[in-house]
Amino acid sequence: MVSLTSMAPASLILDRKLLLDDGRIIQMRVSRLPAASREWPHGLKYSLFFGRPGERIIGYDNEKGKGDHRHYRSREEPYRFSSLEQLIRDFEVDVEREMMT
């Protein structure tokens, strides 16, 4: 049996936060987990956010119990994770599209 206290901690591999002039925030946080699991089969824990304080406009995350998913305003839908690079591209495309409206 593996003790949870003896497991290596997750390592932060991406932590960026950009504050835009209009008060909106773009934030990306990604951690590499010590091992893949049923909950996180790709071995990553991530949270990508675009919005204002208290208002999420676009978000991608893999919160425990929910798996990979995407938020667009009040809508939440599954997201098919293929790679970290594609995740970031998809998020950036959504943010750019939203900023154009």
Tell me: pLDDT of 62 over 80.
yes
- pTM to 2 decimal places: 0.87
Question: Using one digit for the tens of pLDDT, what is the confidence trace for 14-60?
Answer: 999 999 999 999 999 999 999 999 999 999 999 999 999 999 999 99
Tell me: pLDDT of 77 over 60.
yes
84 CB burial (10 A radius; 0-12, 13-18, 19+): middle
Tell me: pLDDT of 94 over 60.
yes
pLDDT (0 to 100) of residue 1: 43
Extents of the domains making up the chain: 11-100
For 56-80, what is the mean pLDDT? 95
The phi, psi pair for 58, rounded to 5°, reads: -135, 140
